[in-house]
Structure 1
Amino acid sequence: MYTIPGHHHISMITKNAQQNNKFYRDILGLRRVKVTVNQDDTSMYHLFYGDKTGSPGTELSFFEIPLVGRTHRGTNAITKIGLIVPSVDSLHYWVNRLDELGVKHEGIKTYAGRPSLLFEDEEGLRLALMAAPNTKVAHWETYEKSPIPVEHQFQGMGTVEITVKNKGKLIRTLTEIFGYELKTEDETTAILQSINGEMFGEIYIIEQDGPSEKPGRGSIHHLAIRVKNDEELAFWDEQVKARGFISSGIVDRFYFKSLYFRESNGILIEIATDGPGFLRDGDVKSLGEQLDLPDFLEPQRAEITAKLKPIL
C-alpha cells in the first residue's frame, strides 16, 4: 500500500508578479527557483519559490493574472498556508522583521495547536509561520543567499487550512482514499496528517456554511500532494476514479507529472510526482534567474517572451 509523504506544492493567484517576487524573495527570503509560464495559458507567468532547489514540500507557486479582481472570501476554499520555522525564537525574529518592513501581523498566538505568527501578503493571501522544533521536510536545503539567517529560514510547508461546508466528506476522501490519519476532531474542525506526527503533510479542516469563495488575487488555486514516481501516480489515478471522482488523467508538467480532481466540496487537489524536479533544465547556481520553458514550448519562446513583462 502506497502512502502520501506530505505536501508537494501549493498554487496561488497573483495580480502582479513583480510585487509578488519582492514579497516572497526579498521579504520572506525564499529562493525563486523557477520562472516559467502556465502551460495551459502561456501568456501568464508561473513563479515557484522554495528552498535551495525547490524541493517537493517547500514550493509555493503563483500564476500571474494581471486583470484578476479581488477575492471574495467564503467557504469551500483553501484558506491558509502554514510555513514551518524551527523555534519560538524564530517567531520572535519574524515579528521584528515584519514590523521593520511594515507587514501587518496578528502577533504570536496558538493556531492549529502550535505557536504561530499569522499575517497576510500584500494581496490578502493568509499565511501562518508555525514553530515546530525538530520538524522539517527531510530533503530541505538551506539557501545561503537568503536574507534570512539559516536558523530562522522556513523549513517547508506545514499545515494547510481548508474551509468547507461539509468536513465529513473531505475527511472521508483523505482517510479512505489516501490513508491520512484523523488526529483531532470536534464539531467544526479536524486535523489530519498523511504521516503520523509530522506537520509537513498536515491538513486543518474548518467547517463553515455560507457562500463559496470567489477566487481572485491572493486566493489559493489548489493543493498538490506528493507521490514518489509514475507508478504510484498511476495507482492513485485508479483509486480516485474508483471512488467516483473525475480525474484529469496523468499530465506531464515537465518538472513533475500530475493528475487533478475535485473532492466533494469542490476543492481542487493535485497529486504530483517528486521528480524530475527543477534541476531538469537548470543549474543549481542560477535557478530562477531566467525564463525556463519545457521542451514542448521552447519553439514558441519568442512569441511567449513578447507577451511577458520582465521581472527584476
Structure 2
Amino acid sequence: MYTIPGHHHISMITKNAKTNNHFYREVLGMRRVKVTVNQDDTSMYHLFYGDKTGSPGTELSFFEIPLVGRTHRGTNAITKIGLIVPSEDSLHYWQQRLMSFGVEHSNLTTYAGRPAVLFEDKEGLRMALIAAPDKVAHWETYDGSPVPAEHQIQGMGTVEITVKNMYKLKATLTEIFGYTLATETENTALMQSVNNELFGEIYIIEQDGPSEKPGRGSIHHLAIRVKDDAELLYWDEQVKQRGFMSSGIVDRFYFKSLYFRESNGILFEIATDGPGFLVDGDIDTLGEKLDLPDFLEAKRADIVAKLKPID
C-alpha cells in the first residue's frame, strides 16, 4: 500500500518575474533553483524557489503572466501557503525582517493550532510562517541565503484550501490518498498525509459564496509527492477508479506527474521525487541561467527572444 509522504510543490501566478524574483530570493531568502519556461506555453517563465537543491516539499513555483489581472477572492480555491520555520524565535526574527522590507504582517498568532506570523507577498499571495520545533529531514540549508541558517524557511507546511463542500474534499483525501483527520470543527478540517507533520498537511475551510477568479497572487495547483514512476501509475489508477478524469502521466523532465480536479474544482498534481533539478544543473550554479528540457532545446533562440531578462 503506497502512501503520500507530503507536499511536492505548489504553483502560483505572478505578473512580474523580476519583482517576484526579488521577493523570494532577497526578502524570503529562498534559493532560486530553476529558471525555465512553462512547457505548455514557452513564452511564459516558470520559476522555482526552494532549498539548496530544490528538494521535493520545499518548492514554490511561479508562472509569469504579464497581462494577468487581479485576483477576485472567493471559495473553491487554494487560499494560503504555510512555510515552516524552526522556532518561535524565528518568528520574531521574521517579524523584524518583514518590517525592514516594508512587508505588512500580523502579530505573533496561531494558525491551524501552531504559532505563526501571517503576511502577503507584493501581489497578495497569502502565506503563514509556522514554527515547527523539529528540523524538516528533506530540507538542506542554503549557505547563499541572506537569512541566517537558524531562521531559514524549511519548505512548505500547511496548505489552506477553501471549498463549498468540505465533505467531498475530505473524502478524496482520505479514501483515495490515505490522509487522516487531525482536528475538525463545524466548518474546518485539518488533514495530514503524515501524522503530526506540517509538510503533508492540508487545512480545509468550508465557505459558501462565489468561486475565486484567479489572477496575480493566486494559487494554480498543489502537487503532492510520490516516490517514482511505479507509484505514479498506481495513483493514476486510483484517481480514475474514483471517477475523476486524469491527465494521464506527463513527463515534465524534472519529474513526472499527472493532474486531476476534485469535486470542488481544486486542481491537484501528483509528482515524482526525481530526477530533480540537478538533472541539467550544477549544484554551485543552480538557477542562475535559463534551463530548457531536452525536447525544447532546439527552440532555445526563439524562446529566449520572447522572454525579458529577470536579473
Q: What interval of TM-score do these two structures reach, taking the shorter chain for normalisation?
A: over 0.9
Q: CA deviation at 1:197?
A: 1.1
Structure 1 runs not aligned, ≥5 long: none
CA shift digits 1:204-230 (9 cap, x unpaired): 000000000000000000000000000
1:38-57 correspondence runs (5 A): 38-57=38-57
Q: CA deviation at 1:66?
A: 0.1
Whole-Å separation in 1 of the counterparts to 2:72 and 2:154 = 31
Structure 2 runs not aligned, ≥5 long: none
SS of residue in 2 equivalent to 1:107 = coil
Output the TM-score relative to the length of structure 2. Answer: 1.00
2:127 counterpart residue number: 127
- Matching residue's letter, 2:273: D
Q: CA deviation at 1:87?
A: 0.2
Contact 1:30 1:51 in 2 (8 A): yes
Q: CA deviation at 1:156?
A: 1.3
SS of residue in 1 equivalent to 2:295 = helix
2:219 counterpart residue number: 220
Q: CA deviation at 1:113?
A: 0.1
275-284 vs 104-113, which moves further: 104-113
- Matching residue's letter, 1:231: A
CA shift digits 1:55-88 (9 cap, x unpaired): 0000000000000000000000000000000000
1:2 counterpart residue number: 2
Number of equivalenced pairs = 311
1:150-229 correspondence runs (5 A): 150-229=149-228
2:81 counterpart residue number: 81
SS of residue in 2 equivalent to 1:46 = strand
Contact 1:7 1:201 in 2 (8 A): yes
1:98 counterpart residue number: 98
Whole-Å separation in 2 of the counterparts to 1:38 and 1:122 = 22
- Matching residue's letter, 1:253: R
Whole-Å separation in 2 of the counterparts to 1:128 and 1:186 = 21
Whole-Å separation in 2 of the counterparts to 1:213 and 1:135 = 35
Whole-Å separation in 2 of the counterparts to 1:229 and 1:272 = 8
1:300-311 correspondence runs (5 A): 300-311=299-310
1:273 counterpart residue number: 272
2:263 counterpart residue number: 264
- Matching residue's letter, 1:27: V
Whole-Å separation in 2 of the counterparts to 1:24 and 1:304 = 24
Contact 1:81 1:160 in 2 (8 A): yes
Whole-Å separation in 1 of the counterparts to 2:270 and 2:227 = 10
Whole-Å separation in 1 of the counterparts to 2:124 and 2:11 = 14
Contact 1:135 1:198 in 2 (8 A): no
- Matching residue's letter, 1:68: V
**Alignment root-mean-square deviation, CA:** 0.4
1:61 counterpart residue number: 61
Runs (4+) of structure 1 exceeding 3 A deviation are: none
Whole-Å separation in 1 of the counterparts to 2:244 and 2:293 = 29
Whole-Å separation in 2 of the counterparts to 1:294 and 1:88 = 41
Contact 1:71 1:215 in 2 (8 A): yes
Q: CA deviation at 1:310?
A: 0.6
CA shift digits 1:148-174 (9 cap, x unpaired): 000000111000000000000000000
Output the TM-score relative to the length of structure 1. Answer: 0.99
Whole-Å separation in 2 of the counterparts to 1:100 and 1:257 = 40
Contact 1:14 1:64 in 2 (8 A): yes
- Matching residue's letter, 2:8: H
Q: CA deviation at 1:51?
A: 0.1
Q: CA deviation at 1:135?
A: 4.3
- Matching residue's letter, 2:237: E
Q: CA deviation at 1:203?
A: 0.2
